[in-house]
Amino acid sequence: MKIAKLLLSLSLFFGSILLAGDKEHIINQIITENEYSNKNNKTMDIYSKEGALEFWSSGGLLNEVGTEDRTNEFESFSMNIKHIEVLILVPKKAAVAMYYSEGSMTPKGSKPVDHYMTRVTQVFVKENGEWRVRASHWSPVLGGAGTSQTATN
C-alpha cells in the first residue's frame, strides 16, 4: 500500500512538471513573438509546416494560412498580451492557448486599427522540438476593434 501511494505521488509530481514545462514554453513563445512584432513591425513564422486554419478578428469566413509567406508586416505595431492560459491536450504534442491581445497596429496596405482588442485561441502542435500554431481564432472584445485585413479567398 505504501509503495502504491509513493508511485501515485511520484507520477502526479512528475506529470505536473511535464505539463508545467509545456505551458511555460508556449507562454514564453507567445510573449517572445509579441515582443518581436512590437520591435520589428512584422510577425515571426510560428506556424506549422502543415499551415493553419484561422478565423480573423476582421470577421469573414475561415482562412487557410499556407506553408509559405506566413508572416505579416505592419507600418506600426504596438500590442500587449494579457492573461495567457494554456491547456495541455497531449503532453509534449498538443496544447491550446487562450489570451487577450490589445493595442494598435497599421497592417501594410491597410487602414490603421487604433483600439485593437481581441480574444485569441490558438492550437499548438509540437514539430521538430518546437511548438507551432495549427489553428487560431481571433474575436474582438466588445468595445474593441478587429484587424482591417480581408479574407485570402
Q: In what order do the strands lie in the sheet with 52-55?
A: 63-65, 52-55, 130-140, 113-127, 94-107, 74-90
- pTM, two decimals, is 0.80
Q: Give mean pLDDT, residues 100-108.
A: 95
Of 120, 65, 122, 123, the residue nearest 94 (C-alpha): 123
Task: Tell me 145's DSSP state.
Answer: B
Return d(Cα 93, Cα 124) in angstroms, integer.
Answer: 8
Residue type, 6: L
* Bridge partners of residue 35, in order along the sequence: none
37 or 10: whose pLDDT is higher? Answer: 37
Q: pLDDT at position 71, please?
A: 82
Question: Sorting pLDDT into bands at 50, 70 and 90, what band is 145?
Answer: low
68 or 139: whose pLDDT is higher? Answer: 139
- Per-residue CA distances from 153 to 24, 84, 144 (Å): 35, 31, 25
Return d(Cα 37, Cα 15) in angstroms, integer.
Answer: 34
Q: What average pLDDT is seen over the chain? A: 86
pLDDT of residue 117 exceeding 90 = yes
Q: Give mean pLDDT, residues 80-106.
A: 97
